[in-house]
């Protein structure tokens, strides 16, 4: 009987593009992918932060480049993402949230979240999928979703709506792109300690309420996300598509 070989987590020779890469989860994803040997294209709106990240990656002995672009701009998506010659891995991560009561949501806030969290994801993925099809070597698309794509929460109606949309988009993309060997999955974190979530945790009541919903008893760190990104990007998940990987400490299991 032959001994099965453990699939490789190596990404040597791959080109990975991460949107929203300048901080938080995006930055951690870029570092994780680089550590596995991928050349990383770091996309974000702040050139200075991107340059710092790319230098950190180079100090690790890996390669990276900065691409300043706004994922709420169709022109930037078409011209800048569309201008990258080859992409093997996409971490579709640039997003935002504006917590507020349902009855207080303004059209401007609604449009802002939908523009970045849904429209941006859709058309970034479209650009990348077209490249993957043209290249003919398949690829992996990771849509950064949230536990809020599976549950509801007060003060987060629009955010929950956008993340539920990402879950539906992921499944439909996975079915349509499978014949091209392009895998599409979502990654769904619980609250992760990042610059975006830091203001939430200034409230002790918020902290205590959040922890009651997480069976493992703690919020996440960016390190909790890094292994999941590598798994979904690599051959270790070669038969995984249309799936939602929850890194939520058990929140959605209840």
Catalytically annotated residues: 159, 163
Tokens of 104: 């207080």
Q: Where are the beta strands (DSSP E) in the chain?
A: 15-18, 39-44, 64-68, 89-92, 139-144, 182-189, 244-247
The number of angstroms, rounded, from the C-alpha of 86 to the middle of its chain's C-alpha atoms is: 19
How many other β-carbons are positioned within 10 Å of the β-carbon of residue 144?
Answer: 25
Give every CB contact of residue 204 below 8 A, 6+ residues apart in sequence.
none
In whole angstroms, what is the distance from residue 66 CA to residue 50 CA? 6
Q: Using the 8-state DSSP alphabet, how is residue 64 labeled?
A: E
| Radius of gyration in angstroms for the set of CA atoms belonging to the chain, rounded to a whole number | 18
Residue 39, strand partner residues: 15
Spatial separation of the C-alpha atoms in residues 233 and 228, rounded to whole Å? 9
Q: Which of 42, 39, 86 is closest to 62 using CA atoms?
A: 39
Distance in angstroms (rounded) separating the CA atoms of residues 119 and 112: 10
Structure tokens at 211: 């922890």
Longest dimension (CA), the chain: 65
């Amino acid at each position: 009987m032959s001994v099965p070989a453990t699939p490789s987590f190596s990404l040597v020779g791959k080109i990975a593009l991460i949107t929203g890469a300048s901080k938080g989860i995006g930055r951690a994803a870029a570092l994780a992918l680089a550590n596995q040997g991928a050349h990383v294209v770091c996309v974000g709106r702040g050139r200075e932060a991107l340059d710092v990240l790319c230098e950190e990656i180079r100090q690790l002995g890996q390669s990276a480049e900065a691409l300043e672009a706004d994922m709420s701009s169709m022109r930037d998506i078409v011209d800048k993402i569309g201008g990258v010659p080859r992409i093997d891995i996409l971490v579709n991560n640039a997003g935002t949230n504006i917590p507020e009561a349902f009855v207080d949501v303004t059209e401007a806030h609604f449009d802002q979240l939908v523009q970045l969290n849904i429209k941006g994801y859709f058309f970034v993925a479209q650009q990348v999928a077209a490249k993957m099809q043209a290249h003919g070597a398949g690829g992996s698309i990771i849509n950064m979703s949230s536990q809020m794509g599976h549950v509801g929460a007060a003060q987060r109606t629009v955010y929950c709506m956008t993340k539920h949309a990402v879950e539906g988009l992921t499944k439909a993309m996975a079915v349509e792109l499978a014949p091209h060997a392009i895998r599409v999955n979502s990654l769904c974190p619980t609250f992760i300690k990042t610059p975006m979530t830091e203001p939430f945790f200034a409230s002790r009541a918020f902290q205590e309420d959040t922890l009651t919903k997480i069976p493992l008893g703690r919020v996440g760190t960016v390190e909790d996300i890094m292994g999941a990104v590598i798994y979904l990007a690599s051959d270790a998940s070669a038969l995984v598509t249309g799936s939602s990987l929850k890194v939520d400490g058990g929140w959605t299991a209840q």
